[in-house]
Amino acid sequence: MKDMKPNVGAGVNQSGLRDFNERLLLTMIQKLGPRPGSELARQANLSAQTVSVILRGLEQEGLVRKGEPMRGRVGKPSVPIALNPDGAYSFGLKIGRRSSEVALVDLMGNIRAQERLKYPYPLPDRIFGFLKDCIAQMTADMAPAQIDRIGGIGVATPFQIWEWRESLDAPAKDFEAWIDLDFATEIERFSHLPVHVVNDATAACHAENAVGVGRDLSDFVHFFVGTFIGGGIVLNRAVYEGSFGNAGALGSIPSMGADGESRQLLHTASLFLLEKEIAAKGADPKALYRDLNDWSEHTAEVDAWVDRAGAEIAAAVLSACAIIDFPHVVIDGAFPRTVRAALVDRVAAELAKLDSRGLIVPQVHAGRVGPNARVKGAAFGPLQAQHFLQQSPFSPALQDATA
């Protein structure tokens, strides 16, 4: 499955650009995993001395650490350099249609603490109060030096959330509070940390690119199925957000409803449809979110939903590939691994049936991050802003710009 290019060729040796080179090396280690300094220097086209100086500085700052020497080779054992998970932290807030989550995430993308708030529909006051309480709770046992390493708060939210009021059966008056809301202003009332806002589906794509299949794949279209389906785009190992931060709005791709009428994909392949089907049978759809590991209680409804959603997602995949010839499509969501596997298989099977003349059908992969993708992706925003490159060092455009 890997299509890793061995030489990134993005380094700059001139003085005054140490910050760029620091970010370059941190990004390479984050993407490639632990590497000896000599290998990092070769792949970044930097001198061994330059890399050695930078890595010493990063180690002193606590951002990287040395691993065990790699023996068994000719010459002096090489020492791999890895990210130090305790080198930096950030908070992620995921605002969902049915629940919100707050997580404290470390530099490696590991969740150190996490809390969840459930509701019938999202309201600002309740969500920001939840965030305030979580920050206080999660930092209560942290040392001052650790708290100083918290770099910001990332917020993953559906754009124009007020537009989905009818699908959530929420009162119009309550949802008006979202229209002119400024996230940074609201959070500044109780936190001095910088705020980074990203579309929730794009955040899931960021997480998949940073700690999931993005470590192996350089270009893919990403579908994340939540209450509403959404997506993202990865090109040259970087998430492409577009002019308005809404690139990869796959939920808005035209689709076909069961009645034969034109719909958007979010109305034909989202989990709220499964919720409605379960409720129509007299059962409680909230049970789906009480246990994201086992939905066997609703096997018949889940199987029917997978069949319908898989067919519609497959058609959307071809639509996406007609614009950009993605070699891979990645599918993930807020559901058990068994459901994800079934949906991946269904999409692949449906793709084989569709008229794909003029297109190259992509490989279909299961995502690796799972239900936590949106909150992890939210937290990745502040980490990237402080420590990693915004554009992938594997990008040809970046190589040209720094040649």
Per residue in 92-118, pLDDT tens? 999 998 899 999 999 999 999 999 999
- Rounded to the nearest integer, the mean pLDDT of the chain is 89
Which domains occur in the chain, in start order?
1-83 (1.10.10.10), 88-202+375-387 (3.30.420.40), 213-368 (3.30.420.40)
Tokens of 132: 């305030």
Could you give the percent of the chain with pLDDT greater than 70? Answer: 90
What's the whole-number mean pLDDT along residues 208-219?
A: 95
Using the 8-state DSSP alphabet, how is residue 384 labeled? H
User: Does 56 score more than 80 pLDDT?
Assistant: yes
Is the Cβ–Cβ distance between 87 and 80 less than 8 Å? no
Segment (H or E) for 385 = helix 373-387
pLDDT value at residue 72: 62
Is the Cβ–Cβ distance between 44 and 393 less than 8 Å? yes
User: Does 7 score more than 50 pLDDT?
Assistant: no
Per residue in 241-261, pLDDT tens? 988 888 999 999 999 877 778
Per residue in 169-205, pLDDT tens? 677 777 888 988 999 999 999 999 999 999 999 999 9
First to last CA, the chain: 29
pLDDT value at residue 167: 66
pLDDT value at residue 163: 78
pLDDT value at residue 74: 60
Segment of 246-260, 277-291, 325-339 carrying the highest mean pLDDT: 325-339
* Strand blocks (E) in 261-362: 262-264, 328-333
